[in-house]
Structure 1
């Protein structure tokens, strides 16, 4: 793909990744950082985090962001962010508990309290990735997973939903249909449809997502000829128990 073929959202994402690489170039973990060899990695692995700009193996990269017991979690994140951001966008990051765990790791590092340029760089990366995902017909990471990661990283759902609301084209609507299909089982059981790593009020977050879907999803799904069954699932979200279970279109989910 030449630069002339790239969409504005793709160019924005490329610029955001370049900015991450420049902003965090030369960063290292704290010189005194330690971790348990028996469950994290060898002394040689730890030493690599204290050397700037050396590429880490996929296993070491995963171990670095997944560990929750660093003395200075922020410095480890700053060390790995250039490689981690690229791996995220490429769909090369996996987590047993869901990719939203990466968002929790970012929140744990308190990135929003980093120096202004660093915090702005992380913020722009997340927003650029999300905006590009909504315009990409076949993103490496599904939109509902990127949303969960961004929400966990920022401990807020609203700005990411506002962006989706503003993207009213067919690709964004298709991602919405796929998200509803992925989420409806949990939401109809009054559960947040991803691992809630970082919410003081998980119920309020679930309620916000549900209310947003009730308001915005039906018209967009109908415009894209979504299955009637999916439209009924959204409609059921607006019903209180027991009307929800007694509705003839209740899908007989068991919880």
Structure 2
């Protein structure tokens, strides 16, 4: 299959085009303001109140990172087409928790409460990007990083894990093993493998839901796909607690 014909790539391209069409002409609120010293100049702020002007990368970053907009939702709608394209292209650094912060920006905008004609394209973009990260061999951003953004943007791991169950095959299994290897250290310490930045999110539920899914579903896939044996044991240990866990012969010796 040619790369251009990859179904997940086509779906993601359509989702990005729909975002651009849906949010064309959007602007920040006319009375929006921010600190000249800490955020940027009045000329830069004016660009957020001007529709469809591409922002230079640093201004785009400051716009989605800022936590003190009066109307964050309006700012998010203004920048969303460009922001989403930058995310998919990997130009929002997937290291240093930048994608977690990007997920918080979606959450602060309360996009799930927008009218369906606005919320629907955002939902489809997130689902399309998630599917592409699992099934496209040339996906730019690691799947486990996309997962964290989607979880933080939506406040739940449920739909993203359900989609992972439906995407089977060697590549999706390989990316499951990569994610499990990234997450096992924190999960074995009874901690979520990323920082929850939005106060409405239930961190403990996110952790327990993720750990339960790894035990109930992922463990079988890891075994059947011949994932490293030590990784399989570390996921198995999530089903043990307290002394039973750290005295198990396969305890990896983690220190917290």
Answer yes or no: same fold by TM over 0.5. Answer: yes
- Contact (CA 8 Å) 1:134, 1:172: kept in 2 or not? yes
Aligned partners of 2:89, 2:213: CA distance in 1, in Å?
Answer: 29
Aligned partners of 2:4, 2:13: CA distance in 1, in Å?
Answer: 13
Partner of 1:37: 36
1:111 shift after superposition: 0.8
Aligned partners of 1:115, 1:229: CA distance in 2, in Å?
Answer: 47
Any stretches of 5+ residues in structure 2 without a counterpart? Answer: none
Partner of 2:9: 10
- Contact (CA 8 Å) 1:98, 1:195: kept in 2 or not? no
Partner of 2:135: 135
- Contact (CA 8 Å) 2:88, 2:141: kept in 1 or not? yes
Partner of 2:223: 222
Please list the CA deviations of residues 153-212 of structure 1 after superposition, one character each: whole Å capped at 9, or x if unmatched: 111111110000111111111110000000010000000001112354211210110010
Partner of 1:148: 148
Secondary structure of 1:254 counterpart: coil
Partner of 2:241: 240
1:137 shift after superposition: 2.3
Secondary structure of 1:68 counterpart: coil
Secondary structure of 1:242 counterpart: helix
TM-score (normalizing by structure 1): 0.95
Partner of 1:185: 185
1:103 shift after superposition: 1.3
Aligned partners of 1:115, 1:166: CA distance in 2, in Å?
Answer: 28
1:96 shift after superposition: 4.0
Partner of 2:209: 208
- Contact (CA 8 Å) 1:91, 1:140: kept in 2 or not? yes
Any stretches of 5+ residues in structure 1 without a counterpart? Answer: none
Aligned partners of 1:15, 1:137: CA distance in 2, in Å?
Answer: 19
Please list the CA deviations of residues 39-80 of structure 1 after superposition, one character each: whole Å capped at 9, or x if unmatched: 111111111111111111111111000001001101100110
Aligned partners of 1:178, 1:98: CA distance in 2, in Å?
Answer: 19
1:122 shift after superposition: 0.5
Count of residue pairs brought into register by the alignment: 254
Would you say 1:196 and 2:210 are equivalent positions? no
Aligned partners of 1:42, 1:166: CA distance in 2, in Å?
Answer: 47
Aligned partners of 1:142, 1:37: CA distance in 2, in Å?
Answer: 35
TM-score (normalizing by structure 2): 0.95
Aligned partners of 1:250, 1:50: CA distance in 2, in Å?
Answer: 55
In angstroms, what is the RMSD of aligned CA positions?
Answer: 1.5
Aligned partners of 1:200, 1:97: CA distance in 2, in Å?
Answer: 17
- Contact (CA 8 Å) 1:61, 1:84: kept in 2 or not? yes
